[in-house]
Chain A
Amino acid sequence: MSVRAGRRVPAALLIPAGLGLMFLVLPLAGLLVRAPWSTLPQRLTEPGVLTALRLSLVTATLATVLCLVLGVPLAWLLARVEFRGRRLVRALVTVPLVLPPVVGGVALLLVFGRRGIVGQWLDSAFGVTLPFTTTGVVLAEAFVAMPFLVIAVEGALRGADTRFEEAAATLGAGRWTTFTHVTLPLVAPGIAAGAVLCWARALGEFGATITFAGNFPGRTQTMPLAVYLALETDLQAAIVLSLILLAVSVTILAALRDKWITSP
Protein backbone atom coordinates (compact mmCIF):
# COMPACT_ATOMS: atom_id res chain seq x y z
CA MET A 1 0.00 0.00 0.00
CA SER A 2 1.54 3.29 -1.05
CA VAL A 3 -0.71 5.41 1.11
CA ARG A 4 1.40 8.20 2.53
CA ALA A 5 1.25 9.17 6.18
CA GLY A 6 -1.15 12.02 6.78
CA ARG A 7 -3.19 10.92 3.78
CA ARG A 8 -4.19 7.63 5.33
CA VAL A 9 -7.59 6.33 4.32
CA PRO A 10 -9.89 6.68 7.33
CA ALA A 11 -11.11 3.36 8.72
CA ALA A 12 -14.65 4.74 8.78
CA LEU A 13 -14.51 4.77 4.99
CA LEU A 14 -12.23 1.82 4.36
CA ILE A 15 -14.26 -0.72 6.34
CA PRO A 16 -17.64 -0.07 4.70
CA ALA A 17 -15.90 0.17 1.32
CA GLY A 18 -14.34 -3.25 1.86
CA LEU A 19 -17.63 -4.71 3.06
CA GLY A 20 -19.39 -3.22 0.04
CA LEU A 21 -16.88 -4.77 -2.32
CA MET A 22 -17.21 -8.16 -0.62
CA PHE A 23 -20.98 -7.95 -0.83
CA LEU A 24 -20.75 -7.43 -4.58
CA VAL A 25 -18.01 -9.96 -5.26
CA LEU A 26 -18.94 -12.87 -2.96
CA PRO A 27 -21.95 -14.03 -5.03
CA LEU A 28 -19.62 -14.18 -8.03
CA ALA A 29 -17.22 -16.29 -5.97
CA GLY A 30 -20.16 -18.54 -5.13
CA LEU A 31 -20.78 -19.11 -8.84
CA LEU A 32 -17.10 -19.83 -9.46
CA VAL A 33 -16.90 -22.32 -6.59
CA ARG A 34 -19.97 -24.24 -7.74
CA ALA A 35 -19.08 -24.22 -11.44
CA PRO A 36 -18.67 -27.69 -12.98
CA TRP A 37 -15.13 -27.09 -14.21
CA SER A 38 -14.54 -30.67 -15.40
CA THR A 39 -17.44 -30.66 -17.88
CA LEU A 40 -16.98 -27.02 -18.85
CA PRO A 41 -15.47 -27.54 -22.35
CA GLN A 42 -18.31 -29.73 -23.62
CA ARG A 43 -20.96 -27.46 -22.10
CA LEU A 44 -19.40 -24.47 -23.85
CA THR A 45 -19.73 -26.10 -27.24
CA GLU A 46 -23.41 -26.99 -26.87
CA PRO A 47 -25.14 -25.50 -29.91
CA GLY A 48 -27.75 -23.34 -28.16
CA VAL A 49 -25.16 -21.51 -26.07
CA LEU A 50 -23.42 -19.65 -28.89
CA THR A 51 -26.74 -18.74 -30.52
CA ALA A 52 -28.02 -17.18 -27.31
CA LEU A 53 -24.72 -15.40 -26.68
CA ARG A 54 -24.61 -13.93 -30.17
CA LEU A 55 -28.23 -12.79 -29.91
CA SER A 56 -27.51 -11.17 -26.53
CA LEU A 57 -24.49 -9.24 -27.81
CA VAL A 58 -26.26 -8.09 -30.99
CA THR A 59 -29.48 -6.98 -29.27
CA ALA A 60 -27.69 -5.24 -26.38
CA THR A 61 -25.54 -3.32 -28.86
CA LEU A 62 -28.50 -2.32 -31.02
CA ALA A 63 -30.44 -1.28 -27.92
CA THR A 64 -27.48 0.90 -26.85
CA VAL A 65 -27.36 2.54 -30.28
CA LEU A 66 -31.09 3.25 -30.07
CA CYS A 67 -30.64 4.69 -26.56
CA LEU A 68 -27.78 6.91 -27.78
CA VAL A 69 -29.79 8.26 -30.71
CA LEU A 70 -32.81 9.07 -28.55
CA GLY A 71 -31.28 9.45 -25.10
CA VAL A 72 -28.50 11.97 -25.71
CA PRO A 73 -30.87 14.60 -27.16
CA LEU A 74 -33.28 13.92 -24.31
CA ALA A 75 -30.50 14.43 -21.77
CA TRP A 76 -29.48 17.66 -23.53
CA LEU A 77 -33.05 18.91 -23.38
CA LEU A 78 -33.25 18.21 -19.66
CA ALA A 79 -29.89 19.83 -18.92
CA ARG A 80 -29.92 22.87 -21.21
CA VAL A 81 -33.46 23.95 -21.94
CA GLU A 82 -35.72 25.57 -19.34
CA PHE A 83 -39.30 24.52 -19.85
CA ARG A 84 -42.42 24.01 -17.79
CA GLY A 85 -42.74 20.55 -16.36
CA ARG A 86 -39.04 19.74 -16.63
CA ARG A 87 -39.05 18.16 -13.17
CA LEU A 88 -41.94 15.95 -14.17
CA VAL A 89 -40.21 14.88 -17.40
CA ARG A 90 -37.06 14.07 -15.43
CA ALA A 91 -39.10 11.93 -13.04
CA LEU A 92 -40.81 10.19 -15.96
CA VAL A 93 -37.44 9.29 -17.46
CA THR A 94 -36.63 7.26 -14.35
CA VAL A 95 -39.90 5.30 -14.44
CA PRO A 96 -38.35 2.23 -16.12
CA LEU A 97 -35.83 2.08 -13.24
CA VAL A 98 -38.61 1.78 -10.67
CA LEU A 99 -41.02 -0.35 -12.66
CA PRO A 100 -40.52 -4.10 -12.22
CA PRO A 101 -39.22 -5.18 -15.65
CA VAL A 102 -42.05 -7.71 -16.08
CA VAL A 103 -44.55 -4.87 -15.68
CA GLY A 104 -42.51 -2.91 -18.21
CA GLY A 105 -42.91 -5.84 -20.60
CA VAL A 106 -46.68 -5.91 -20.10
CA ALA A 107 -46.81 -2.13 -20.64
CA LEU A 108 -44.88 -2.54 -23.89
CA LEU A 109 -47.35 -5.23 -24.99
CA LEU A 110 -50.26 -2.90 -24.26
CA VAL A 111 -48.70 -0.28 -26.54
CA PHE A 112 -46.75 -2.23 -29.18
CA GLY A 113 -48.59 -5.57 -28.99
CA ARG A 114 -50.88 -6.91 -31.67
CA ARG A 115 -53.84 -5.25 -29.95
CA GLY A 116 -51.83 -2.35 -28.55
CA ILE A 117 -52.49 1.31 -29.29
CA VAL A 118 -49.51 1.65 -31.63
CA GLY A 119 -49.08 -2.03 -32.46
CA GLN A 120 -52.57 -2.37 -33.90
CA TRP A 121 -51.82 0.42 -36.35
CA LEU A 122 -48.36 -0.95 -37.21
CA ASP A 123 -49.97 -4.30 -37.93
CA SER A 124 -52.77 -2.98 -40.15
CA ALA A 125 -50.72 -0.33 -41.97
CA PHE A 126 -47.39 -2.13 -42.45
CA GLY A 127 -48.03 -5.73 -41.42
CA VAL A 128 -45.41 -5.31 -38.71
CA THR A 129 -45.79 -7.14 -35.39
CA LEU A 130 -43.14 -6.55 -32.75
CA PRO A 131 -43.77 -9.13 -30.02
CA PHE A 132 -41.87 -12.42 -30.43
CA THR A 133 -39.31 -10.81 -32.78
CA THR A 134 -35.67 -9.82 -32.35
CA THR A 135 -36.74 -6.19 -32.82
CA GLY A 136 -39.01 -6.73 -29.83
CA VAL A 137 -36.00 -7.83 -27.77
CA VAL A 138 -34.14 -4.64 -28.74
CA LEU A 139 -37.15 -2.48 -27.79
CA ALA A 140 -37.57 -4.20 -24.43
CA GLU A 141 -33.87 -3.81 -23.62
CA ALA A 142 -33.80 -0.17 -24.74
CA PHE A 143 -36.86 0.63 -22.61
CA VAL A 144 -35.22 -0.70 -19.48
CA ALA A 145 -31.69 0.58 -20.20
CA MET A 146 -32.31 4.11 -21.54
CA PRO A 147 -32.65 5.83 -18.12
CA PHE A 148 -29.09 4.80 -17.26
CA LEU A 149 -27.81 6.63 -20.33
CA VAL A 150 -30.02 9.70 -19.92
CA ILE A 151 -29.12 10.16 -16.24
CA ALA A 152 -25.38 9.72 -16.88
CA VAL A 153 -25.34 12.12 -19.85
CA GLU A 154 -27.51 14.72 -18.12
CA GLY A 155 -25.15 14.60 -15.14
CA ALA A 156 -22.16 15.13 -17.43
CA LEU A 157 -23.88 18.05 -19.20
CA ARG A 158 -24.73 19.75 -15.92
CA GLY A 159 -21.15 19.32 -14.74
CA ALA A 160 -19.68 20.65 -18.00
CA ASP A 161 -18.53 24.26 -18.19
CA THR A 162 -21.17 26.15 -20.18
CA ARG A 163 -18.74 29.00 -20.90
CA PHE A 164 -17.34 27.02 -23.86
CA GLU A 165 -20.82 26.81 -25.36
CA GLU A 166 -21.40 30.52 -24.68
CA ALA A 167 -18.09 31.37 -26.33
CA ALA A 168 -19.04 29.32 -29.39
CA ALA A 169 -22.38 31.13 -29.52
CA THR A 170 -20.77 34.57 -29.33
CA LEU A 171 -18.48 33.54 -32.19
CA GLY A 172 -21.60 32.94 -34.28
CA ALA A 173 -22.16 29.20 -33.95
CA GLY A 174 -25.77 28.08 -34.03
CA ARG A 175 -27.23 25.81 -31.36
CA TRP A 176 -26.80 22.70 -33.53
CA THR A 177 -23.19 23.48 -34.42
CA THR A 178 -22.44 24.25 -30.79
CA PHE A 179 -24.03 20.94 -29.81
CA THR A 180 -22.06 18.83 -32.30
CA HIS A 181 -18.72 20.69 -32.14
CA VAL A 182 -18.51 21.83 -28.53
CA THR A 183 -21.02 20.09 -26.28
CA LEU A 184 -20.63 16.53 -27.55
CA PRO A 185 -16.80 16.44 -27.38
CA LEU A 186 -16.98 18.08 -23.94
CA VAL A 187 -19.23 15.39 -22.47
CA ALA A 188 -17.90 12.44 -24.51
CA PRO A 189 -16.59 10.63 -21.41
CA GLY A 190 -20.01 10.99 -19.78
CA ILE A 191 -21.71 9.63 -22.88
CA ALA A 192 -19.28 6.72 -23.02
CA ALA A 193 -19.87 5.92 -19.34
CA GLY A 194 -23.63 6.12 -19.85
CA ALA A 195 -23.45 3.91 -22.93
CA VAL A 196 -21.45 1.31 -21.02
CA LEU A 197 -24.02 1.25 -18.19
CA CYS A 198 -26.80 1.11 -20.73
CA TRP A 199 -25.18 -1.78 -22.61
CA ALA A 200 -24.55 -3.73 -19.43
CA ARG A 201 -28.14 -3.30 -18.30
CA ALA A 202 -29.44 -4.32 -21.72
CA LEU A 203 -27.23 -7.41 -21.73
CA GLY A 204 -28.60 -8.61 -18.40
CA GLU A 205 -32.22 -7.75 -19.21
CA PHE A 206 -34.68 -10.54 -18.43
CA GLY A 207 -38.16 -9.57 -17.27
CA ALA A 208 -39.26 -7.12 -19.96
CA THR A 209 -37.68 -9.26 -22.69
CA ILE A 210 -39.40 -12.53 -21.77
CA THR A 211 -42.72 -10.75 -21.30
CA PHE A 212 -42.68 -8.61 -24.44
CA ALA A 213 -40.60 -10.68 -26.85
CA GLY A 214 -41.22 -14.17 -25.49
CA ASN A 215 -38.65 -16.92 -25.54
CA PHE A 216 -37.66 -18.69 -28.74
CA PRO A 217 -34.15 -20.02 -29.42
CA GLY A 218 -32.29 -18.05 -32.08
CA ARG A 219 -34.93 -15.33 -32.30
CA THR A 220 -35.68 -13.97 -28.84
CA GLN A 221 -33.88 -16.26 -26.40
CA THR A 222 -31.05 -14.15 -24.99
CA MET A 223 -28.52 -15.44 -22.44
CA PRO A 224 -30.47 -14.39 -19.32
CA LEU A 225 -33.53 -16.25 -20.65
CA ALA A 226 -31.42 -19.31 -21.42
CA VAL A 227 -29.98 -19.12 -17.89
CA TYR A 228 -33.44 -18.93 -16.34
CA LEU A 229 -34.72 -21.95 -18.26
CA ALA A 230 -31.56 -23.93 -17.59
CA LEU A 231 -32.17 -23.26 -13.91
CA GLU A 232 -35.45 -25.18 -14.20
CA THR A 233 -33.67 -28.43 -14.90
CA ASP A 234 -29.92 -28.13 -14.48
CA LEU A 235 -28.32 -25.78 -11.95
CA GLN A 236 -24.82 -26.44 -13.28
CA ALA A 237 -25.76 -25.58 -16.85
CA ALA A 238 -27.26 -22.34 -15.54
CA ILE A 239 -24.02 -21.52 -13.71
CA VAL A 240 -21.95 -22.19 -16.84
CA LEU A 241 -24.19 -19.93 -18.95
CA SER A 242 -23.99 -17.17 -16.34
CA LEU A 243 -20.21 -17.42 -16.22
CA ILE A 244 -19.94 -17.17 -20.01
CA LEU A 245 -22.13 -14.06 -20.02
CA LEU A 246 -20.07 -12.57 -17.18
CA ALA A 247 -16.72 -13.38 -18.77
CA VAL A 248 -17.68 -11.96 -22.16
CA SER A 249 -19.21 -8.78 -20.77
CA VAL A 250 -16.40 -8.09 -18.31
CA THR A 251 -13.82 -8.60 -21.07
CA ILE A 252 -15.61 -6.23 -23.43
CA LEU A 253 -16.16 -3.60 -20.74
CA ALA A 254 -12.53 -3.75 -19.61
CA ALA A 255 -11.28 -3.41 -23.19
CA LEU A 256 -13.60 -0.47 -23.85
CA ARG A 257 -12.62 1.23 -20.64
CA ASP A 258 -8.96 1.28 -21.62
CA LYS A 259 -9.71 2.52 -25.09
CA TRP A 260 -12.48 5.06 -24.68
CA ILE A 261 -12.85 6.03 -21.11
CA THR A 262 -9.72 7.76 -19.90
CA SER A 263 -10.26 9.27 -16.52
CA PRO A 264 -8.84 12.79 -16.28
Chain B
Amino acid sequence: MKARAVAALLAAAVLGVAGCGDDASATGKGTVTVFAAASLTGSFTTLGKAFEAANPGVKVTLNFAGSSALATQISQGAPADVFASASPANMTSVTTDGTPATFVRNQLVIAVPKANPEGVTGLAGLAKPGVKVALCAEQVPCGAAARKAIDAAGVKVTPVTLEQDVKQALSKVKLGEVDAALVYRTDAKAASSDVDGIEFPESAKAINDYPIAVLKDAPNKTAARAFVAYVQSDKGMAVLTAAGFQEP
Protein backbone atom coordinates (compact mmCIF):
# COMPACT_ATOMS: atom_id res chain seq x y z
CA MET B 1 0.00 0.00 0.00
CA LYS B 2 2.95 2.25 0.72
CA ALA B 3 4.13 1.92 -2.88
CA ARG B 4 0.68 2.84 -4.10
CA ALA B 5 0.61 5.93 -1.90
CA VAL B 6 3.99 7.00 -3.24
CA ALA B 7 2.79 6.38 -6.79
CA ALA B 8 -0.29 8.47 -6.13
CA LEU B 9 1.85 11.26 -4.73
CA LEU B 10 4.14 11.10 -7.72
CA ALA B 11 1.19 11.10 -10.07
CA ALA B 12 -0.23 14.11 -8.28
CA ALA B 13 3.11 15.87 -8.55
CA VAL B 14 3.37 15.10 -12.26
CA LEU B 15 -0.17 16.27 -12.83
CA GLY B 16 0.45 19.44 -10.90
CA VAL B 17 3.41 20.27 -13.08
CA ALA B 18 1.63 19.20 -16.23
CA GLY B 19 -1.15 21.57 -15.31
CA CYS B 20 1.26 24.47 -15.47
CA GLY B 21 2.49 23.28 -18.81
CA ASP B 22 5.81 25.11 -18.61
CA ASP B 23 8.12 22.41 -17.30
CA ALA B 24 8.90 19.91 -20.03
CA SER B 25 11.26 17.86 -17.85
CA ALA B 26 8.44 16.19 -15.88
CA THR B 27 6.21 15.26 -18.82
CA GLY B 28 9.10 14.67 -21.16
CA LYS B 29 9.39 15.40 -24.84
CA GLY B 30 9.20 13.45 -28.02
CA THR B 31 6.87 10.55 -28.70
CA VAL B 32 5.12 8.27 -26.26
CA THR B 33 3.98 5.00 -27.83
CA VAL B 34 0.88 3.49 -26.26
CA PHE B 35 -0.28 -0.08 -26.96
CA ALA B 36 -3.91 -0.36 -25.91
CA ALA B 37 -6.63 -3.02 -26.05
CA ALA B 38 -9.09 -2.74 -28.95
CA SER B 39 -11.93 -1.87 -26.56
CA LEU B 40 -10.06 1.32 -25.57
CA THR B 41 -9.92 2.62 -29.15
CA GLY B 42 -12.44 5.44 -28.73
CA SER B 43 -11.51 6.65 -25.27
CA PHE B 44 -7.72 6.45 -25.71
CA THR B 45 -7.89 8.33 -29.01
CA THR B 46 -9.66 11.14 -27.15
CA LEU B 47 -7.24 10.91 -24.20
CA GLY B 48 -4.21 10.94 -26.51
CA LYS B 49 -5.34 14.18 -28.17
CA ALA B 50 -6.13 15.79 -24.79
CA PHE B 51 -2.74 14.75 -23.43
CA GLU B 52 -0.96 16.23 -26.46
CA ALA B 53 -2.91 19.48 -26.02
CA ALA B 54 -1.98 19.65 -22.33
CA ASN B 55 1.67 18.81 -22.99
CA PRO B 56 3.07 20.68 -25.99
CA GLY B 57 6.09 18.90 -27.42
CA VAL B 58 4.81 15.43 -26.62
CA LYS B 59 3.27 13.30 -29.33
CA VAL B 60 1.14 10.25 -28.53
CA THR B 61 1.26 7.31 -30.94
CA LEU B 62 -1.47 4.75 -30.39
CA ASN B 63 -1.54 1.12 -31.46
CA PHE B 64 -4.81 -0.75 -30.91
CA ALA B 65 -5.29 -4.52 -31.20
CA GLY B 66 -6.38 -7.51 -29.16
CA SER B 67 -4.57 -7.52 -25.81
CA SER B 68 -2.86 -10.85 -26.44
CA ALA B 69 -1.59 -9.76 -29.86
CA LEU B 70 -0.21 -6.60 -28.25
CA ALA B 71 1.43 -8.61 -25.45
CA THR B 72 3.10 -10.82 -28.07
CA GLN B 73 4.33 -7.77 -30.00
CA ILE B 74 5.75 -6.24 -26.81
CA SER B 75 7.50 -9.40 -25.65
CA GLN B 76 8.97 -9.76 -29.16
CA GLY B 77 10.57 -6.32 -28.78
CA ALA B 78 8.09 -3.78 -30.14
CA PRO B 79 9.20 -0.31 -28.92
CA ALA B 80 6.20 0.48 -26.72
CA ASP B 81 6.18 2.83 -23.73
CA VAL B 82 2.79 2.08 -22.20
CA PHE B 83 0.61 -1.02 -22.28
CA ALA B 84 -3.09 -0.87 -21.39
CA SER B 85 -4.54 -4.38 -21.44
CA ALA B 86 -8.10 -5.68 -21.30
CA SER B 87 -7.06 -8.47 -18.94
CA PRO B 88 -4.48 -8.96 -16.18
CA ALA B 89 -3.36 -12.25 -17.79
CA ASN B 90 -1.88 -10.49 -20.81
CA MET B 91 -0.18 -7.92 -18.58
CA THR B 92 1.72 -10.66 -16.75
CA SER B 93 3.39 -11.81 -19.97
CA VAL B 94 5.23 -8.48 -20.45
CA THR B 95 7.89 -6.91 -18.25
CA THR B 96 6.67 -3.71 -16.65
CA ASP B 97 8.39 -0.88 -14.84
CA GLY B 98 6.68 -1.12 -11.46
CA THR B 99 3.36 -2.79 -10.60
CA PRO B 100 0.53 -2.43 -13.14
CA ALA B 101 -2.49 -0.51 -11.83
CA THR B 102 -6.12 -1.41 -12.52
CA PHE B 103 -7.51 1.78 -14.04
CA VAL B 104 -11.00 0.72 -15.23
CA ARG B 105 -13.38 -2.22 -15.22
CA ASN B 106 -15.70 -3.44 -17.92
CA GLN B 107 -18.82 -5.57 -17.71
CA LEU B 108 -20.70 -7.68 -20.22
CA VAL B 109 -24.09 -6.82 -21.67
CA ILE B 110 -26.28 -8.64 -24.19
CA ALA B 111 -26.13 -6.80 -27.51
CA VAL B 112 -29.22 -7.20 -29.66
CA PRO B 113 -30.26 -5.55 -32.94
CA LYS B 114 -32.46 -2.45 -32.36
CA ALA B 115 -35.56 -4.39 -33.36
CA ASN B 116 -34.65 -7.26 -30.98
CA PRO B 117 -36.38 -9.85 -33.24
CA GLU B 118 -36.18 -12.66 -30.69
CA GLY B 119 -37.33 -10.54 -27.75
CA VAL B 120 -34.24 -11.29 -25.67
CA THR B 121 -34.37 -9.80 -22.16
CA GLY B 122 -31.83 -11.86 -20.24
CA LEU B 123 -29.33 -14.72 -20.44
CA ALA B 124 -32.14 -17.30 -20.38
CA GLY B 125 -33.40 -15.86 -23.68
CA LEU B 126 -30.12 -16.90 -25.33
CA ALA B 127 -30.80 -20.55 -24.58
CA LYS B 128 -34.08 -20.63 -26.52
CA PRO B 129 -33.93 -22.84 -29.63
CA GLY B 130 -33.70 -20.87 -32.87
CA VAL B 131 -31.96 -17.90 -31.27
CA LYS B 132 -28.64 -17.32 -33.02
CA VAL B 133 -25.94 -16.25 -30.58
CA ALA B 134 -22.37 -15.08 -31.14
CA LEU B 135 -19.89 -15.35 -28.28
CA CYS B 136 -16.19 -14.54 -28.18
CA ALA B 137 -13.87 -17.54 -28.25
CA GLU B 138 -12.79 -18.54 -24.76
CA GLN B 139 -9.16 -17.80 -25.63
CA VAL B 140 -9.89 -14.05 -25.63
CA PRO B 141 -10.94 -12.10 -22.51
CA CYS B 142 -14.54 -11.38 -23.56
CA GLY B 143 -15.07 -15.09 -24.25
CA ALA B 144 -13.68 -16.13 -20.90
CA ALA B 145 -15.96 -13.60 -19.20
CA ALA B 146 -18.97 -14.80 -21.23
CA ARG B 147 -18.30 -18.38 -20.18
CA LYS B 148 -18.15 -17.33 -16.49
CA ALA B 149 -21.41 -15.38 -16.71
CA ILE B 150 -23.26 -18.17 -18.54
CA ASP B 151 -22.04 -20.75 -16.04
CA ALA B 152 -23.10 -18.48 -13.17
CA ALA B 153 -26.58 -18.23 -14.68
CA GLY B 154 -26.78 -22.01 -15.10
CA VAL B 155 -28.16 -21.80 -18.65
CA LYS B 156 -27.05 -23.75 -21.69
CA VAL B 157 -26.20 -21.50 -24.62
CA THR B 158 -25.13 -23.02 -27.94
CA PRO B 159 -23.52 -20.26 -30.01
CA VAL B 160 -23.38 -20.42 -33.80
CA THR B 161 -19.93 -18.85 -33.75
CA LEU B 162 -17.03 -18.16 -31.40
CA GLU B 163 -15.61 -14.87 -32.60
CA GLN B 164 -11.97 -13.85 -32.49
CA ASP B 165 -12.66 -10.59 -30.68
CA VAL B 166 -15.46 -8.53 -29.24
CA LYS B 167 -15.74 -6.16 -32.22
CA GLN B 168 -16.32 -9.10 -34.57
CA ALA B 169 -19.05 -10.45 -32.28
CA LEU B 170 -20.65 -7.01 -32.24
CA SER B 171 -20.49 -6.62 -36.01
CA LYS B 172 -22.43 -9.89 -36.42
CA VAL B 173 -25.23 -8.25 -34.40
CA LYS B 174 -24.99 -5.01 -36.38
CA LEU B 175 -25.31 -6.94 -39.64
CA GLY B 176 -28.28 -8.88 -38.27
CA GLU B 177 -26.57 -12.24 -38.76
CA VAL B 178 -27.12 -13.18 -35.12
CA ASP B 179 -29.93 -12.29 -32.73
CA ALA B 180 -27.69 -11.60 -29.76
CA ALA B 181 -24.06 -11.49 -28.63
CA LEU B 182 -22.31 -11.03 -25.31
CA VAL B 183 -20.09 -7.95 -25.60
CA TYR B 184 -18.68 -5.33 -23.25
CA ARG B 185 -20.93 -2.52 -22.16
CA THR B 186 -18.48 -0.04 -23.73
CA ASP B 187 -18.73 -1.73 -27.13
CA ALA B 188 -22.53 -1.77 -27.04
CA LYS B 189 -22.48 1.90 -26.04
CA ALA B 190 -20.15 2.82 -28.92
CA ALA B 191 -22.53 1.08 -31.36
CA SER B 192 -25.71 2.42 -29.78
CA SER B 193 -27.08 3.61 -33.12
CA ASP B 194 -27.33 -0.01 -34.33
CA VAL B 195 -27.61 -2.17 -31.22
CA ASP B 196 -29.16 -2.11 -27.76
CA GLY B 197 -27.19 -3.29 -24.74
CA ILE B 198 -29.23 -5.27 -22.23
CA GLU B 199 -27.79 -5.41 -18.70
CA PHE B 200 -28.06 -8.73 -16.87
CA PRO B 201 -27.33 -9.54 -13.23
CA GLU B 202 -24.90 -12.45 -13.85
CA SER B 203 -22.42 -10.09 -15.55
CA ALA B 204 -21.35 -9.02 -12.05
CA LYS B 205 -19.71 -12.46 -11.78
CA ALA B 206 -17.49 -11.74 -14.78
CA ILE B 207 -16.00 -8.30 -14.46
CA ASN B 208 -12.89 -7.55 -16.47
CA ASP B 209 -10.09 -5.56 -14.86
CA TYR B 210 -8.04 -3.37 -17.19
CA PRO B 211 -4.44 -2.88 -16.00
CA ILE B 212 -2.10 -0.17 -17.29
CA ALA B 213 1.68 0.06 -16.86
CA VAL B 214 4.85 1.69 -18.11
CA LEU B 215 7.02 -0.96 -19.76
CA LYS B 216 10.48 -1.85 -18.54
CA ASP B 217 12.08 -1.25 -21.95
CA ALA B 218 10.10 1.93 -22.62
CA PRO B 219 12.19 4.28 -24.79
CA ASN B 220 10.48 7.33 -23.25
CA LYS B 221 9.76 6.56 -19.61
CA THR B 222 9.19 10.16 -18.47
CA ALA B 223 6.43 10.82 -20.97
CA ALA B 224 5.07 7.31 -20.43
CA ARG B 225 4.62 7.91 -16.69
CA ALA B 226 2.97 11.24 -17.38
CA PHE B 227 0.54 9.59 -19.80
CA VAL B 228 -0.37 6.82 -17.33
CA ALA B 229 -0.97 9.45 -14.64
CA TYR B 230 -3.12 11.45 -17.06
CA VAL B 231 -5.29 8.39 -17.82
CA GLN B 232 -5.88 7.91 -14.08
CA SER B 233 -6.56 11.59 -13.42
CA ASP B 234 -10.07 12.99 -13.00
CA LYS B 235 -10.04 14.21 -16.58
CA GLY B 236 -8.99 10.79 -17.84
CA MET B 237 -11.59 8.96 -15.78
CA ALA B 238 -14.31 11.31 -17.03
CA VAL B 239 -13.56 10.27 -20.61
CA LEU B 240 -13.45 6.59 -19.71
CA THR B 241 -16.66 6.53 -17.67
CA ALA B 242 -18.47 8.43 -20.42
CA ALA B 243 -17.54 5.52 -22.71
CA GLY B 244 -19.18 3.07 -20.31
CA PHE B 245 -16.21 1.91 -18.25
CA GLN B 246 -16.51 1.62 -14.47
CA GLU B 247 -14.01 3.05 -12.02
CA PRO B 248 -12.07 0.33 -10.21
Closest residue of chain B to A221 (Cβ to Cβ) is B162
A131 lies within 8 A of chain B by Cβ = yes
Closest residue of chain B to A232 (Cβ to Cβ) is B139
Chain B residues within 8 Å of A225, by CB: 164
Shortest A81–chain B CB gap in Å is: 38
Stretch of A1-9, A82-90, A107-115, A154-162 with 4 or more beta carbons under 8 angstroms from chain B:
A107-115
Closest residue of chain A to B175 (Cβ to Cβ) is A109
A229 to B36, CA, bound (A): 19
A214 to B160, CA, bound (A): 8
Chain A residues within 8 Å of B176, by CB: 113-115
> Which residue of B137, B172, B175 contacts A232 across the interface (Cβ within 8 Å)?
B137
With A229-B137, A229-B139 as known contacts, state yes or no: A214 contacts B68, CB within 8 Å: no
A56 lies within 8 A of chain B by Cβ = no
With A109-B175, A113-B177, A232-B66 as known contacts, state yes or no: A215 contacts B137, CB within 8 Å: yes
A132 lies within 8 A of chain B by Cβ = yes
Shortest A100–chain B CB gap in Å is: 14
Interface size class of B (residues with CB under 8 A): 20 to 34
Contact between A132 and B168, CB atoms less than 8 A apart: no
Contact between B68 and A233, CB atoms less than 8 A apart: yes
Chain A residues within 8 Å of B160, by CB: 132, 214, 216
Closest residue of chain B to A214 (Cβ to Cβ) is B161
B55-70 toward A: CB 8 Å interface, digit per residue (1/0)? 0000000000010110
A23 to B57, CA, bound (A): 39
Chain A residues within 8 Å of B172, by CB: 214
> Which residue of B72, B168, B171, B175 contacts A231 across the interface (Cβ within 8 Å)?
B72
B11 lies within 8 A of chain A by Cβ = no
B109-159 interface (Cβ within 8 A of A)? 132, 134, 137, 139-140, 159
A258 to B237, CA, bound (A): 64
With A214-B160, A215-B162 as known contacts, state yes or no: A233 contacts B139, CB within 8 Å: yes
Chain A residues within 8 Å of B196, by CB: none
Chain A residues within 8 Å of B139, by CB: 229-230, 232-233
B81 lies within 8 A of chain A by Cβ = no
Chain B residues within 8 Å of A106, by CB: 171, 175
A91-117 interface (Cβ within 8 A of B)? 106, 109-110, 113-115
A231 to B168, CA, bound (A): 17
A232 to B87, CA, bound (A): 12
Identify the interface centre among A115, A214, A225, A233: most chain B CB within 10 Å of its CB.
Answer: A214
Given contacts A113-B175, A115-B175, A215-B164, list 16 more A-B pairs with CB under 8 A: A113-B176, A115-B177, A132-B161, A210-B164, A210-B168, A214-B134, A214-B162, A216-B159, A216-B161, A225-B164, A229-B162, A229-B164, A232-B66, A232-B68, A232-B69, A232-B140
9 cross-chain pairs, A with B, having the tightest CB-CB distances, nearest first: A214-B161, A232-B139, A115-B176, A132-B160, A232-B68, A233-B139, A229-B139, A215-B162, A229-B137
- B: residues with CB less than 8 A from A are 66, 68-69, 72, 132, 134, 137, 139-140, 159-164, 168, 171-172, 175-177
